[in-house]
Amino acid sequence: MGIHILVILSLVVVAAVVTDAIVVTDRERMEEFVESVTGRVSDARIDNALSYADPSKVTMELVHDGRRHRYDHGNASALKPDARKALASLSGSKLYLIQENISLEGERARIALRLRTNAGFANTVFDLRRENDQWLLRRVTVN
């Protein structure tokens, strides 16, 4: 009888470990996002970061130098070329993470990053919203 209980307990522990390894928490998803927007700037990295944007589902706003650009279902296809054009001057540069702050509140998340670039420092805030278990960008503010 004791061996059966030991086997059952072992199975429960293994199931818990496997479940923990399979389930990705919101915090882990935010950390993955931070990794996608830091490091060496390349087309692949830009595409990876833009995988968090779907203006056809969630209108996205880009705020930079006092200007606002909105992307929605009507101009969603312009987001990728606009992002590549905006980041062209940083191509090949490395974005070093100096400080990060991640806050999660229900269906909303905010990631504030302080980055060092070859040209100096940048403060960036990413606002995301969960849509059907997928985190999507709502607003990106760059100062």
Q: Are 95 and 38 in contact (CB under 8 A)?
A: yes
Asked if pLDDT for residue 28 goes beyond 50, the answer is: yes
Q: Are 50 and 80 in contact (CB under 8 A)?
A: yes
Residues 6+ apart with CB under 8 A from 53: 60, 71, 79, 136, 137
Candidates 57, 118, 61; CA nearest to 92 is 118
- Please give the share of the chain, as a percent, with pLDDT higher than 70: 82
- Span 118-135, pLDDT tens digits: 888 888 899 999 998 899
41, pLDDT greater than 80? yes
Question: C-alpha dihedral over 43, 124, 104, 73, to 10 degrees?
Answer: -60
Residue 8 has pLDDT above 80, yes or no: no
Position 107 scores a pLDDT of: 94
Q: What's the CA gap between 70 and 55, in Å, rounded?
A: 9
Domain at 26-142: CATH code: 3.10.450.50
Q: What is the DSSP string of 63-81?
A: EETTEEEEE-TTTGGGHHH
Q: How far apart are CA 21 and CA 41, in angstroms?
A: 30
Examine the pLDDT at 23 and tell me if it is beyond 60: no
Confidence of residue 17 (pLDDT cuts 50, 70, 90): very low
Alpha carbons within 13 angstroms on the beta-carbon side of residue 110 total: 7
Give the E-state strand segments of the chain in sequence order: 39-40, 60-64, 67-71, 94-105, 108-117, 120-131, 134-142
pLDDT band at 24 (very low <50, low <70, confident <90, very high): low
Q: What pLDDT score does 90 carry?
A: 72
